[in-house]
């Protein structure tokens, strides 16, 4: 029922119909087996096909839970949870994505009828991209400019019915459809990303989500006693799941590339013996093993973010907002660096598999095509790093009178971090968690302070921020990488069962940290923290560590415990039986249904017979 092999060969209509069938079968299993919400989430993950259900459960329902009043939740959540209505999240427009305040769709209050009039005043105000909108959703959570008494009162969410619950046709005033094919074969084309326009569509006043801001019958704007910051709680949650997903996607790619690197042999045959396994070449190890270490690093930082979300949630309930700006900046930055590294890492894994990695049956092209939108959705990765930079610059400017908290606590020791340089004198000296953390703290602190000093020279801070934005992004990356490295090291302070498991994770932790240090050594050298000799010693140690990863590389990827169905890769098969299965799969391609291809007699034979002039072209 959930077979994936034929997906890349299907036409768009057939592909979407197949996805709708799988989603229905999945829902039947959820109902029949009375699965909990958590179990249903795992089932959808392992079905492994983007579908309208992702947005219904992942965005529409959580937004109502987070932003609806008790009354609204009572009305809408039972309908959504039983799937009697299907919802999507309509925020992004043709002309605006990252800049939510720039959205153009309007919701104008009409006190005569106690309704909002939702309208798309321009072409660029068309909703564009929401998943599930194109062909399936019956309702949308529409973000629009609230206009009351001719005045603009910010962007808010409104529940709008789009299609009839009888025959699924669009309701009056609604123009809706699919935005067309996206990158890749199969891949994200199983999702009906949509376009939506409103022509003065009327909805009852109580369909504006009013947990934070209310509009009364008389057209008065009231702020409830629920703080606006609550909305940030939802954002922290969504970004935490994206970091966890980055770890899953990268670990899949690394699992395929590692297994295939052990199967593939090339060159190095002695006296007619077997050739060398590709995984034994240092060039392969130096590209592959840091990605393996990154997959573990992202998993651990994802676990920590789960804790951070729970902490933020408890504090919000107690009206404590002190950690919110830091939690918001931290999740924004981690979403950015983990998704960028994962997208690049999947593509690197494809290259690590040589020519066969380019086959759709390797699983890597589809994994890449499905994953890369993560660099853009829920905040463009560069825009997010600029948000982190604003927070860092503010933290630096307040150091004299405000103690930095959470992941910026190290900034409180800025004086010593600016002065003390690296003391490592041997390659082994780098196998010291304290030395690693100090190196990353000093780099991040020095880069942030440097940006602060440069900004101070501008009369207009905003002008300075725009001019220095590329430097600010680099400072944000340094700060976020420090978080991932320090959370990996903190994880290793815990009790980790299993013989030799903790030692192996320590090796991976050093690989991750020293790989970053080598990759970004320009930062460490330019800030004056490292000497060229110390940077060279770190690289020597990194090379030694690769030899320690090698004997356990396969078991390290086996421990992700991915089934062959979930991996969807002939190269990454658990049994290593790659070549016979590649050969077998080739014959299943529709082109091989016949020996003489359709079109040969019309277009090729005339060329061969020198009769092109008389052919039916």
Q: Which residues are catalytic?
A: 378
Q: How far is CA 357 from CA 38, 350, 362, 447, 601, in A?
A: 34, 5, 5, 39, 33
**What gap in Å lies between CA 297 and CA 486, rounded to an integer?**
10
CB of 140 closer than 8 Å to CB of 128: no
**What gap in Å lies between CA 612 and CA 617, rounded to an integer?**
8
* 501 Cβ contact partners less than 8 Å away, ≥ 6 residues apart: none
* 132 Cβ contact partners less than 8 Å away, ≥ 6 residues apart: 51, 52, 53, 54, 55, 56, 86, 87, 88, 191, 192, 194
| Per-residue exposure over 163-176, b if at least 16 CB sit within 10 Å of its own CB, e if not | beeeeeeeeebbeb
Find tokens 């459809």 and name the residue. 177
Residue 109 — left, alpha, or beta (φ > 0 → left; ψ -120 to 50 → alpha)? beta
Phi/psi at 222 (nearest 5 deg)?
-120, 135
Find tokens 């959703």 and name the residue. 137
Q: What is the DSSP letter of 587?
A: T
* 100 Cβ contact partners less than 8 Å away, ≥ 6 residues apart: 91, 143, 155
Beta bridge partners of 106: 119, 145
CB of 341 closer than 8 Å to CB of 375: no
Q: 151: helix, coil or strand?
A: strand
Q: 131 labelled as ligand-binding? A: yes
Handedness of CA 470, 474, 479, 484 (dihedral sign): positive
Residues marked as binding for FAD?
92, 131
Residues marked as binding?
92, 131
């Amino acid at each position: 029922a959930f077979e994936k092999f034929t997906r890349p060969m299907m036409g768009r209509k057939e592909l979407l119909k197949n996805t709708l069938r799988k989603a229905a079968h999945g829902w039947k299993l959820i109902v029949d087996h009375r699965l909990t919400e958590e179990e249903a989430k795992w089932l959808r993950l392992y079905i492994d096909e983007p579908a309208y259900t992702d947005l219904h459960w992942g965005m529409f329902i959580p937004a109502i839970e987070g932003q609806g009043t008790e009354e609204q939740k009572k009305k809408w959540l039972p309908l959504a949870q039983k799937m009697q209505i299907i919802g999507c999240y309509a925020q992004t427009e043709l002309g605006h994505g990252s800049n939510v305040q720039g959205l153009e769709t309007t919701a104008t209050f009409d006190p005569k009828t106690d309704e909002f009039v939702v309208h798309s005043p321009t072409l660029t105000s068309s909703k564009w991209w929401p998943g599930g909108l194109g062909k399936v959703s019956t309702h949308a959570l529409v973000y629009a400019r609230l206009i009351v008494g001719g005045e603009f009162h910010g962007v808010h969410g409104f529940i709008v019915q789009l299609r009839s619950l009888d025959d699924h046709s669009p309701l009056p005033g609604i123009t809706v459809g699919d935005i067309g094919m996206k990158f890749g074969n199969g891949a994200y084309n199983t999702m009906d990303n949509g376009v939506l326009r409103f022509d003065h569509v009327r909805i009852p006043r109580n369909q504006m989500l009013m947990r934070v801001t209310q509009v009364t019958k008389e057209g008065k704007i009231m702020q409830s006693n629920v703080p606006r910051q609550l909305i940030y709680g939802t954002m922290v949650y969504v970004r935490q799941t994206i970091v966890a997903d980055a770890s899953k996607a990268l670990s899949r790619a690394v699992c395929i590339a590692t297994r295939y690197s052990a199967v593939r042999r090339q060159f190095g045959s002695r006296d007619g013996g077997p050739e060398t396994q590709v995984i034994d070449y240092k060039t392969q190890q130096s590209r592959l093993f840091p990605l393996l270490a990154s997959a573990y690093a992202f998993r651990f930082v994802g676990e920590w973010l789960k804790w951070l979300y729970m902490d933020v949630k408890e504090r919000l309930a107690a009206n404590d907002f002190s950690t919110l700006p830091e939690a918001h900046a931290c999740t924004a930055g981690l979403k950015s660096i983990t998704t960028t590294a994962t997208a690049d890492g999947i593509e690197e894994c494809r290259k690590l598999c040589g020519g066969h990695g380019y086959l759709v049956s390797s699983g890597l092209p589809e994994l890449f095509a499905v994953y890369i939108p993560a660099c853009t959705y829920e905040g463009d990765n560069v825009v997010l790093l600029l948000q982190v930079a604003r927070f860092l610059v503010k933290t630096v400017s307040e150091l004299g009178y405000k103690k930095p908290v959470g992941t910026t606590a190290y900034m409180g020791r800025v004086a010593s971090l600016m002065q003390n340089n690296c003391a490592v004198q041997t390659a082994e000296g780098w196998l010291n968690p304290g030395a690693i953390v100090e190196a990353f703290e000093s780099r991040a602190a020095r880069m942030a302070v440097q940006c602060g000093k440069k900004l101070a020279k501008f009369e207009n801070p905003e002008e300075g921020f725009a001019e220095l934005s590329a430097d600010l992004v680099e400072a944000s990356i340094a700060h976020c990488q420090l978080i991932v490295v320090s959370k990996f090291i903190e994880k290793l302070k815990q009790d980790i069962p299993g013989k030799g498991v903790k030692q192996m994770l320590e090796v991976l932790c050093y690989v991750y940290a020293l790989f970053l240090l080598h990759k970004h050594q320009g930062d460490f050298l330019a800030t004056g923290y490292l000497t060229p000799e110390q940077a060279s010693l770190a690289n020597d140690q990194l090379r030694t560590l690769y030899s320690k990863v090698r004997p356990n590389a396969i078991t390290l990827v086996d421990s992700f415990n991915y089934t062959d169905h979930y991996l969807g890769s002939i190269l990454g098969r658990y049994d290593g039986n790659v070549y016979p299965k590649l050969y077998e799969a080739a014959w299943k391609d529709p082109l091989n249904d016949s020996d003489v291809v359709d079109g040969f007699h019309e277009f090729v034979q005339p060329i061969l017979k020198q009769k092109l002039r008389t052919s039916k072209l």
